Amino acid sequence: MDRHALTPQEQASFLALIERLADLARPRTLEWFRHPDLNAQNKLADGFDPVTQADRATEAAIRACLAKHRPKDAVLGEELGRAAGESGLTWIIDPIDGTRAYLAGTPCWGVLIALADAGGPFLGVIDQPYIGERFLGGLGHARMTGPQGEKPLRTRATETLDAAILFTTFPEIGSDAERAAFERVAARVKLTRFGMDCYAYALLAAGHVDLVIEAGLNPYDIAAPIALIEAAGGIVTDWQGGPVGGSGQVVAAANAALHAQALAVLNAQD
pLDDT tens digits, 5-27: 999 999 999 999 999 999 999 99
pTM: 0.96
Per-residue pLDDT tens over the stretch 113-135: 999 999 999 999 999 999 999 99
pLDDT for position 145: 98
Greater model confidence, 147 or 269:
147
pLDDT of 89 over the 90 cut = yes
Q: Which domains does the chain carry?
A: 3-152 (3.30.540.10), 161-266 (3.40.190.80)
Greater model confidence, 60 or 1:
60
pLDDT for position 270: 60
Q: Which pairing describes strands 110-117 and 120-128: parallel, antiparallel, or unpaired?
A: antiparallel
pLDDT for position 47: 77
How much of the chain, in percent, has pLDDT values that exceed 70?
99
pLDDT for position 7: 95
Buried b (16+ CB within 10 A) or exposed e, 134-152: bbbbbbeebbbeeeeeeee
Q: What is the mean pLDDT of the chain?
A: 96
What is the rounded distance in angstroms from the CA atom of residue 199 to the CA atom of residue 33? 17
Per-residue pLDDT tens over the stretch 25-62: 999 999 999 999 998 888 876 777 889 999 999 999 99
Cα 120 to Cα 58, 87, 189: the distances in Å are: 24, 14, 30
What is the rounded distance in angstroms from the CA atom of residue 177 to the CA atom of residue 158? 27
Listing DSSP states for 168-192 in one string gives: ES-TT-SSHHHHHHHHHHHTTSSEE
What is the rounded distance in angstroms from the CA atom of residue 238 to the CA atom of residue 94? 20
The confidence band for 1, taking pLDDT boundaries of 50, 70 and 90, is confident
Buried b (16+ CB within 10 A) or exposed e, 3-35: beebeeeebeebbebbbebbebbbebbeebbee
Per-residue pLDDT tens over the stretch 130-156: 999 999 999 999 999 999 999 999 999
pLDDT for position 111: 98
pLDDT for position 77: 97
Per-residue pLDDT tens over the stretch 221-268: 999 999 999 999 999 999 999 999 889 999 999 999 999 999 999 999
